[in-house]
A and B are shown apart, each in its own frame.
Chain A
Amino acid sequence: DTAVSQTPKYLVTQMGNDKSIKCEQNLGHDTMYWYKQDSKKFLKIMFSYNNKELIINETVPNRFSPKSPDKAHLNLHINSLELGDSAVYFCASSQAWVRETNYGYTFGSGTRLTVV
């Protein structure tokens, strides 16, 4: 039973299109994230939601819009896709405000987005 699942795994689309990536976690975590991994494998945070509330919004073009219908789901919608958006997008979740216990993010397996 996958803890953090993303769909789709692969997405190939043309410039200018709009696409969505979905994420679901069954860990009971209260915080979810979107990370982008570039071609050099550098992971950078894009957004974070805690109990459906946006708490981190990095310098990301406003073509990217996250949405969290409930604390187990976090979706990412991208408008007017550009070549530079090609990357692997990871969803993650964590149980915030926990100090000494096994705190850590659980990542999904990623969505490989290719814009042509």
Chain B
Amino acid sequence: QKEVEQDPGPLSVPEGAIVSLNCTYSNSAFQYFMWYRQYSRKGPELLMYTYSSGNKEDGRFTAQVDKSSKYISLFIRDSQPSDSATYLCAMSRFPGGKLIFGQGTELSVKP
């Protein structure tokens, strides 16, 4: 069993839809949770960062962490074609520590 599980998709939605992306994990020691976006042939770029449990909002993006269920989510409101990319969840036990990634979910937003 992988430490971090993420449905690879692909996920296809119409423009304007609300997108929900999720990851589950097995190691309760994880404290730092991140979402990265990776466009084709580019490096991952940090979208959201959350320490411990709770919600965080940034524009159209909301990240949620539920440590009791070992479950994290990323919501994208009013999705745009420019949101089409692979979304990777990632987590670590401490800052600067080993970052464990999910497999990534490929998202396509159709105009």
Interface residues of A, Cβ cutoff 8 Å to B: 4, 30-31, 33, 40-45, 48, 50, 56, 58, 90, 94-100, 102-110, 112
Contacts and interface: CB of A to CB of B under 8 A. Distances in A.
Interface of B: 8, 32, 34, 36, 38, 41-46, 49, 51, 86, 88, 90, 95-101, 103-104
Contacts of A42: 101, 103-104
Contact of B98 (A48, A95, A102): A48
B49 A104 contact: yes
Q: Please report whether the interface of chain A is mostly helix, strand, loop or mixed according to DSSP.
A: loop
Contacts of A102: 49
A100 B51 contact: yes
Nearest to A102: B49
Contacts of A90: 43-44
Contacts of A33: 99
Given A94-B95, A107-B36, 10 more contacts: A41-B8, A42-B103, A96-B96, A96-B97, A103-B32, A103-B95, A105-B46, A108-B43, A110-B41, A110-B43
Contacts of A110: 41-43
Nearest to B47: A104
Given A43-B101, A103-B32, A94 B44 contact: no
B86 A107 contact: no
A45 B95 contact: no
Nearest to B46: A104
Q: Name the residue among A4, A95, A104 with the largest chain B CB count within 10 angstroms.
A: A104
Contacts of B101: 42-44
B107 to A, nearest CB: 13
Contacts of B98: 45, 48, 56, 58
Nearest to A9: B41
Given A103-B32, A104-B34, A109-B43, A98 B95 contact: yes
A106 B95 contact: no
30 contacts: A4-B43, A33-B99, A40-B103, A41-B86, A41-B104, A42-B101, A43-B90, A43-B104, A45-B99, A58-B98, A90-B43, A94-B96, A95-B95, A95-B96, A96-B95, A96-B96, A97-B95, A100-B51, A102-B49, A103-B49, A104-B46, A104-B49, A105-B44, A105-B99, A106-B46, A107-B44, A109-B42, A109-B43, A110-B43, A112-B41
